[in-house]
């Protein structure tokens, strides 16, 4: 198991990385300016696109976990925080994971509120939120439905990358709402938002619903309101489910294609042997 140590005198144990895993980068190359610490399904993808439009590059959203292949690192960070496996991450580790990002949004980043606030004390903080009832309803039909689907669980066994993403999903379901979202989801949402409010000074915090559009966000970030670009509104429940269905089907298609490439030659050879044996038996009878 790979380990990395930090020079900080406050850390007495090693940060544990997955076997053979290296950090994506050596350290921070752009300033971390915005921490969007609202939970998933609070408009996090919409605000990700909005921040990019305002000039923040890059912005780290859950989708980057997949595209950058970082799920195993987030699993390690969650295990350190919640399960005591190695030292918890500090500024050095976050910089080596997020060093090219000027902003973060969505989970798993939002699960590290105190840690990211300590690492980036000068960053502005946005708490994306919505009514708790609408959030629970959205989660039940998207994130929780996807996680609890037996088809999706089975699909995760068919692909190593999907399996790692599934392991990450299992971690946040365990540590956010104790594997029982219908029972504990509402409590998780309330306690998470209260934690952000308690830790972030009011002059550094914007509580924000994406339906409010550009004006409050731009005022808070000292940015000009885009004159010709509408505020992005993406990843509603239907879009989420359609995307999840496509990715699941792609996993199954990929497995079918790989299986077919192996089985077809085998079947062809077997068929040829069977045909030749049958032909010989027929000739022998004659």
For 5-23, how does the pLDDT look when each residue is reduced to its tens digit (9 = 90+)?
333 434 446 899 989 899 9
What pLDDT score does 263 carry? Answer: 46
Which pLDDT score, from 0 to 100, does residue 264 have?
52
- pLDDT at 161 (0 to 100): 77
pLDDT in single tens digits along all 286 residues of the chain: 444 433 343 444 689 998 989 999 999 999 999 999 999 999 999 999 999 999 999 999 999 999 999 999 999 999 999 999 999 999 999 999 999 999 999 999 999 999 999 999 999 999 999 999 999 999 999 999 888 888 777 777 777 778 899 999 999 999 999 999 999 999 999 999 999 999 999 999 999 999 999 999 999 999 999 999 999 998 666 766 566 556 556 655 655 554 555 445 544 455 445 545 443 444 455 4
Answer whether 76's CB lies under 8 Å from 16's CB.
yes
- Bridge partners of residue 59, in order along the sequence: 103
- Residue whose C-alpha is closest to residue 26's, from 76, 83, 99: 99
Q: Which two structure tokens, joined as six digits, stand for 13?
A: 């144990």
Q: Where are the alpha helices (DSSP H) in 84-235?
A: 91-98, 113-119, 132-141, 143-148, 150-156, 160-177, 181-199, 214-221
pTM above 0.75, yes or no: yes
In angstroms, the CA 31 to CA 28 distance is 7
First-to-final CA distance of the chain: 68
CB of 28 closer than 8 Å to CB of 95:
yes
- Rounded to 10 degrees, the C-alpha dihedral 38/40/43/44 comes to 70
């Amino acid at each position: 198991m790979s380990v990395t140590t930090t020079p900080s005198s406050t850390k007495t144990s090693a940060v544990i990385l997955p076997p053979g895993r290296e950090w994506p980068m050596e350290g921070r190359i752009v300033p971390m300016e915005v921490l969007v610490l609202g939970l998933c399904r609070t408009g996090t993808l919409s605000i990700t696109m909005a921040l990019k439009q305002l000039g923040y590059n890059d912005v780290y959203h859950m989708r980057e976990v997949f595209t950058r292949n970082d799920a195993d690192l987030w699993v390690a960070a969650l295990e350190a925080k919640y399960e005591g496996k190695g030292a918890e991450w500090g500024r050095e580790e976050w910089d080596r994971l997020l060093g090219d990002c000027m902003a973060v949004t969505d989970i798993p980043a939002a699960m590290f509120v105190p840690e990211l606030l300590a690492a980036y004390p000068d960053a502005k903080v946005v708490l994306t939120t919505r009514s708790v009832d609408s959030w629970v309803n959205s989660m039940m039909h998207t994130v929780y439905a996807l996680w609890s689907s037996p088809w999706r669980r089975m699909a995760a066994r068919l692909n190593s990358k999907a399996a790692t993403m599934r392991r990450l999903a299992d971690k946040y379901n365990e540590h956010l709402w104790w594997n029982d979202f219908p029972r504990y989801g509402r409590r998780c949402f309330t306690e998470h938002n209260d934690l952000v409010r308690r830790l972030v000074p009011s002059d550094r915090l914007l509580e924000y619903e994406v339906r409010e559009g550009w004006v409050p966000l731009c005022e808070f970030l000292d940015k000009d309101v885009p004159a010709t670009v509408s505020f992005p509104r993406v990843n509603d429940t239907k879009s989420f489910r359609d995307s999840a269905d496509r990715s699941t089907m792609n996993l199954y298609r990929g497995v079918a294609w790989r299986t077919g490439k192996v089985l077809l030659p085998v079947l062809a050879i077997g068929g040829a042997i069977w045909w030749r044996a049958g032909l010989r038996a027929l000739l022998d009878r004659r």
